Amino acid sequence: METDPRFFDELFERPDQARRPYEDFHDWFSSDDIGRLRRKSAEAEEFFRRTGITFNVYGQDEADERLIPFDIVPRILAAREWSKLSRGIEQRVRAINAFLYDIYHRQEILRAGRVPVDLIAKNAAFLPQMLGVSPPGEVYTHIVGTDLVRTGPDEFYVLEDNARTPSGVSYMLENRETMLQMFPELFAKIKVQQVSDYPKRLRKSLEACAPDCASAKPLVAVLTPGIHNSAYYEHAFLADQMGAELVEGHDLRVTDGRIAMRTTQGYKPIDVIYRRVDDEYLDPLTFNPDSMLGVPGIMDVYRAGGITIANAPGTGIADDKAIYSYMPEIVNFYTGEKPILQNVPTHRCSEPEALSYVLDNLAELVVKEVHGSGGYGMLVGPAASKRELSEFRKKLKARPENYIAQPTLALSTVPILTKAGLAPRHVDLRPFVLVSPRKVDITPGGLTRVALKKGSLVVNSSQGGGTKDTWVLEE
């Protein structure tokens, strides 16, 4: 396989010399029949198709549901590498939770001038309805997905924080299950930390966040917008794996100051709702009056301490990419420490000097919408046409506060299996973090997303990316 010296190759130290975490895998791969591996790759795709693991693509006229391509070459991290990442992720997640508590209470960080007041006050993701509200256990971000990229042996950067409703954990679990079925001999040879207990850990973490009025065995439910949602497969999968109820808004109502679920024996109180419904649609009496997805009155019950909503309403402010640019200050303010994991250098286009720089260097930068996700609404300057650059320049001038810009990082590569053999492709990583009052629990691995097109830096499944199993080796 030819490697590109401009990018850190996670598998190869040099041609045909594997890096230490990959040594055993490379020995196994090199001694196997490439034809068998290709057949196994096709089997894996058929497995995903039979299982029904699809996602919806919005705004596309062709087939709504697509299969996310899966590559059988795993992404492997040494225990030492994971240990550093885990410390950095925990530090960051604790700081985000402290920040959310602060901005909905005393707002000390704003008084100290470390974050501009306007960035909060004029932000659509900030919910005034949450001012003074303390969630059970003071946990706002029960489930977090922190997107990381790598540029060298010890250089990891946080690309963004997903503190609202991070998705993708079902792919992490199914990727591992598929690899175990396809290559059991590989897992006998290489000791990999397990991820399959995530649903059990998720349930335990959610139960630990139950309100004071909860029963001894808290009742947990997953609130889904329904079958037409792009992540519905994941909602149903997690509810099933956790042994939780899968409910829609019309299954719930307020009864005796609690949120109750319709059952064949009448309405039964719920203690914890893992909601996959956006803030705007959560309660038509508090937010969007036209919402058919939420539960009328749920916010009153929540404010009174009668239900835990995970993640808490208003956590979307921590997803904001303008807020992201202040994360080094946020981490330092609440922990008194320097960030273990670095941010990607970020230009805030709302600032005239930064906007001028971005407009002058648009062809070299990645520009993102402040509230954007899934790879939509972004410009990858080096891959953009003159027309795309021109159109984006107009958008930036019209609404500069809507964008941030970052340098194009030299993302690391991991090989994928192609018809011609192994070929390097760029990757990122989304570890999944569970937060309860007494514990931050980070699953060893996460979802590795891979850009399947040669030279592409866009890994999102909605933009043609695929996924890989992520292995964290045992000590």
What would the DSSP string read from start to end of 244-306?
A: PEEE-GGGEEEETTEEEEEETTEEEE-SEEEE-S-GGGT-TTTS-TT-SSS-TTHHHHHHTTS
380, 407, 434 - which closes a domain: 407
Cα 237 to Cα 326: distance, rounded to the nearest angstrom:
35
pTM above 0.85, yes or no: yes
Which residues partner with 422 through β-bridges?
Answer: 417
Cα 285 to Cα 403: distance, rounded to the nearest angstrom:
32
392, 407, 422 - which closes a domain: 407
Residues 321 and 355 in one domain: no
Residues 108 and 181 in one domain: yes
Specify if 244 maps to a domain.
no
Specify if 197 maps to a domain.
yes
What is the domain range of residue 447? 12-211+307-343+409-472
Short-list 203, 309, 213, CA closest to 269: 213
Residues 87 and 188 in one domain: yes
Q: Across residues 469-475, what is the average pLDDT? A: 96
Contact call for residues 12 and 3 (beta carbons, < 8 A): yes
407, 438, 459 - which closes a domain: 407
**Model pLDDT, residue 293:** 95
User: Percent of the chain having pLDDT more than 70?
Assistant: 95
Specify if 375 maps to a domain.
yes
Cα 409 to Cα 250: distance, rounded to the nearest angstrom:
46
Cα 367 to Cα 359: distance, rounded to the nearest angstrom:
10
Which residues partner with 470 through β-bridges?
Answer: 75
Residues 463 and 420 in one domain: yes
Q: Give the residue, 400 or 421, on which the prediction is more confident.
A: 400
Q: Across residues 29-35, what is the average pLDDT? A: 90
- DSSP class of residue 327? H
Whose structure tokens read 């080094």? 328
Number of structural domains the chain divides into? 2
Specify if 392 maps to a domain.
yes
From residue 458, give the alpha-carbon distance in Å to each of 74, 223, 409: 19, 30, 12
Specify if 254 maps to a domain.
no
**Model pLDDT, residue 465:** 85
Listed in sequence order, the residues at least 6 apart from 266 whose beta carbon sits closer than 8 Å to its beta carbon are: none
**Model pLDDT, residue 47:** 83
Cα 111 to Cα 117: distance, rounded to the nearest angstrom:
8
**Model pLDDT, residue 183:** 94
Helix (H, G, I), strand (E, B) or coil at 156: strand
Residues 137 and 53 in one domain: yes
Residues 392 and 417 in one domain: no
Which of the four pLDDT bands, split at 50, 70 and 90, describes residue 55?
low
